[in-house]
Chains A and B, each alone.
Chain A
Amino acid sequence: MNIPAVHTPRLSLSFLVDHFFYLVFLLVFVFFSLASDKFLTVSNLSSLLLQCSYYGVLVTGLSFVIISGDFDISVGTVAYVSMSVGMVTIAAGYPILLGVALTLLTGVAIGLLNALIIIYLHVPAFITTLGVLIAGRGVGHLLVAEQGGIEAPVALTQFAQFRIGPLYLEVAFMLLVMFIGQFVLTRTAFGRTVFAIGDNEKSARRIGIEINKMKLVLFTLSGFVASLAGLVYVTQVGYLHASFADGWEFTAISMAVIGGVSLFGGRGTILPGALLGITLIVMLQNGLTIIGLSPYIHPFVIGSMIFVAILADSLKNRRN
């Protein structure tokens, strides 16, 4: 007699590790929704997404680099220096469009500089971008800090006031950038090459992928996108100052990793992964303030979350 096999659902460790993030996201969302009637409102969710917008843009470029198995920890500084160049230009009376163009060009130039140092001087990406992070801050201070900060022109800050229903224009822009990023990553040969390099650089080289050319494009892209994120942020805050984008790099890397972009390369998505990672961190900051928890506890909660995410990523990587 054949006895039919009984399939009982099992909560295995690998299942938990794979879906841990989604579970946590859901739990946090439900918790804050129940804890305060101020959380689940159109106004709050709209402002929560607005807070995600510049990080969304920043993480898109950074995710490409991380998935390829590298690091770019200069993105905050790139945003600062490129915005400094742009804002000084505008403050000197030149057209806003010229300032915006110079901002983006500076981002591209610094990204390219990163790439050239990594490729031709064989300096590891981490060290190269760390150097640029430190040196670039000095350049930014030289341009901006000695003036005590620069007010953004009204034409730029007005951009932040446009809404499509409850959705701010910056949020729509972020979603567009992330959608393009995800499309390029998963539906193009370029994207597949990024995954291949991140998975195993030596093998990728063996099958004829031009690693240096890819690094050149990836770091330049990261610089360009960082300057774009700086622009999105300036439209919101309306002011360029000495601590502009300070620490963005580590927050952005954490957000990407929480969203499933592997620190070890070769894995990750921009949509929905990175977007949910960003939203989780911003939601925690938002929700903890709304429920009135002491601000001194916030870093502990968020730091613990980052630690657990990195642990989960490490476990996944070991298993794979």
Chain B
Amino acid sequence: MGFKMKMLSSAAILAAGIATLPIEAMAKDMTIGFSSVGRFSLAFIAGETYLGRFAEERGWKYLSAIAENDAAKQSQDIDNLIARGVDAVIVMAVDSKAIESSVRAAHSEGIPVIGYMRPQDPGSTHLYDGFAGQDTVAQAYDAAIEMSKMLDEDSVAASDVKVLHVIGDPKDENALKRAEGFKKAAEEKGWEIVSEIICDGWSLDMALTGATNALESDSSINAVLLASDYLWPGVRTALQNRDKLHKRGEEGHVYIASQDVFPVAVDSIKEGYMDTSTLLDMYGMAVTAMDMTERLLAGEEFSETTTPKKVNWMSGVTITADNVETQEGLWGAEFHPDKK
């Protein structure tokens, strides 16, 4: 390398160093507040942990507040975080409309608000400064398409596929979007949905009784589209009671396409009972949310033309027996009870 090149390189490094200096300088003094919907799901705990870990990596102080699925409490939680002097708020909303006044309060103090996982109501008047969530229609669609590949490999004709569709909680927008994704795939592939069940409040009881009744009503069911593998233990028991729980490759196997990849799904995919589940990417969403937070604190703004965009919809990876041992960011494996 010649002298000129060395000089140029040094100048470029110096320039880069100066450009990043404000972020580095401010990093140590920052406090990030996270307002969580609750800790009643391991997925939420994983998200909370990842955000805390990434804040710590940046040398930031991290405060979290748990709303326990109470929208009014969440609004108070955010107000309290503001009062405690946070520099940015990341929020996983119980009900985005109910926390609008808190978003407004944060903005009036110059505090950016970043949405995590749960999107903002389109009618909201005070918008988040950034958002990282998952496209749940695509999540369900991808799982069903992955299952269709397995059906093809096993030479099961589309016209022979009889589906039990477990919708989940009809009050949860994500459940409805997932149902939309599943139906789209089933329609495209020409599968017959012979029974649909709902599980109010993501009730495992309803998954168990609903699946039991559905299997009684139609013993030809040979595939299940499952809104979340949180409900899998109930469906699994119903299949077992009807002698329909068999591993892939065994006679009478019922194909399962699910979502989220909870620890119980990690186990069942490894064992061969569950065929596929699309990852609810708690890790990827946390990476994006924290990256956006850092940039917002450095003065950047996001729009639909920036990278990342203001609103970011991520797609999860479909997990099968082929990648369940190797996939990175698999929170269901990282937070598996056996690892404690």
Name A residues whose Cβ lies closer than 8 Å to a Cβ of B. 36, 38, 41, 43-44, 47, 50-51, 91, 138, 141, 145-151, 233, 236-239, 241-248, 282, 285-286, 289-292, 294-296, 298-299
Distance between B333 CB and nearest chain A CB, rounded to angstroms: 11
B41/A242 in contact, CB under 8 A = yes
Distance between A288 CB and nearest chain B CB, rounded to angstroms: 8
B2 within 8 A of partner (CB): no
Chain B residues 209-267 with CB under 8 Å of chain A are: 209-210, 212-214, 216-218, 230, 233-234, 236-237, 241, 262-264
Partner of B195, one of A145, A146, A292: A292
Partner of A145, one of B41, B170, B198, B208: B41
Contacts A145-B39, A149-B264, A150-B337; A243 near B210 (Cβ below 8 A): no
Query: Which chain A residues lie closer than 8 Å to B233 at the CB level?
Result: 149, 151, 237-239, 241
Contacts A241-B230, A285-B213; A148 near B42 (Cβ below 8 A): yes
B216/A141 in contact, CB under 8 A = no
Query: Which chain A residues lie closer than 8 Å to B263 at the CB level?
Result: 148-149
A295/B45 in contact, CB under 8 A = no
Interchain Cβ contacts within 8 Å, total number: 113
Which 8 A/B pairs are nearest by Cβ-Cβ distance? Answer: A148-B42, A239-B233, A289-B213, A290-B217, A295-B198, A242-B40, A44-B216, A147-B337
8 contacts between A and B (CB under 8 A): A41-B216, A145-B42, A148-B41, A239-B234, A285-B210, A289-B210, A292-B217, A295-B210
Contacts A38-B216, A44-B216, A51-B209; A239 near B264 (Cβ below 8 A): yes
B292 within 8 A of partner (CB): no
Distance between B237 CB and nearest chain A CB, rounded to angstroms: 5
B208/A236 in contact, CB under 8 A = yes
B203 within 8 A of partner (CB): yes
B197 within 8 A of partner (CB): yes
Distance between A285 CB and nearest chain B CB, rounded to angstroms: 6
Partner of A246, one of B45, B203, B262, B332: B203
| Complex alpha-carbon distance, A47 and B218, angstroms | 14
B167 within 8 A of partner (CB): yes
Partner of A237, one of B197, B208, B332, B340: B208
A146/B264 in contact, CB under 8 A = no
A141/B39 in contact, CB under 8 A = yes
Partner of B337, one of A44, A91, A243: A91
| Complex alpha-carbon distance, A91 and B40, angstroms | 19
| Complex alpha-carbon distance, A247 and B217, angstroms | 26
B200 within 8 A of partner (CB): yes
| Complex alpha-carbon distance, A246 and B206, angstroms | 11
Query: Which chain A residues lie closer than 8 Å to B212 at the CB level?
Result: 47, 50-51
B201/A247 in contact, CB under 8 A = yes
Query: Which chain B residues lie closer than 8 Å to A285 at the CB level?
Result: 209-210, 213
Query: Which chain B residues lie closer than 8 Å to A239 at the CB level?
Result: 204, 233-234, 264
Nearest residue (CB) in A for B267 is A151
Contacts A141-B39, A146-B39, A295-B196; A246 near B213 (Cβ below 8 A): no
| Complex alpha-carbon distance, A287 and B233, angstroms | 23
Q: A289-B195, A290-B217 are in contact. List 7 more A-B contacts (CB 8 A).
A: A146-B45, A148-B263, A237-B205, A243-B203, A245-B205, A289-B197, A294-B196
Query: Which chain B residues lie closer than 8 Å to A150 at the CB level?
Result: 337
Chain B residues 286-340 with CB under 8 Å of chain A are: 332, 335-337, 340
| Complex alpha-carbon distance, A245 and B41, angstroms | 16
Contacts A91-B337, A239-B233, A239-B264; A147 near B202 (Cβ below 8 A): no
| Complex alpha-carbon distance, A169 and B143, angstroms | 37
Query: Which chain B residues lie closer than 8 Å to A248 at the CB level?
Result: 205
Partner of B201, one of A47, A50, A243: A243
| Complex alpha-carbon distance, A252 and B233, angstroms | 23
Chain B residues 53-95 with CB under 8 Å of chain A are: 68
| Complex alpha-carbon distance, A313 and B197, angstroms | 31
Nearest residue (CB) in B for A285 is B209
Distance between B298 CB and nearest chain A CB, rounded to angstroms: 34
Query: Which chain A residues lie closer than 8 Å to B195 at the CB level?
Result: 289, 292
Query: Which chain A residues lie closer than 8 Å to B202 at the CB level?
Result: 243
Query: Which chain A residues lie closer than 8 Å to B205 at the CB level?
Result: 233, 237, 245, 248
Distance between A136 CB and nearest chain B CB, rounded to angstroms: 14
A296/B209 in contact, CB under 8 A = no
Query: Which chain B residues lie closer than 8 Å to A41 at the CB level?
Result: 216
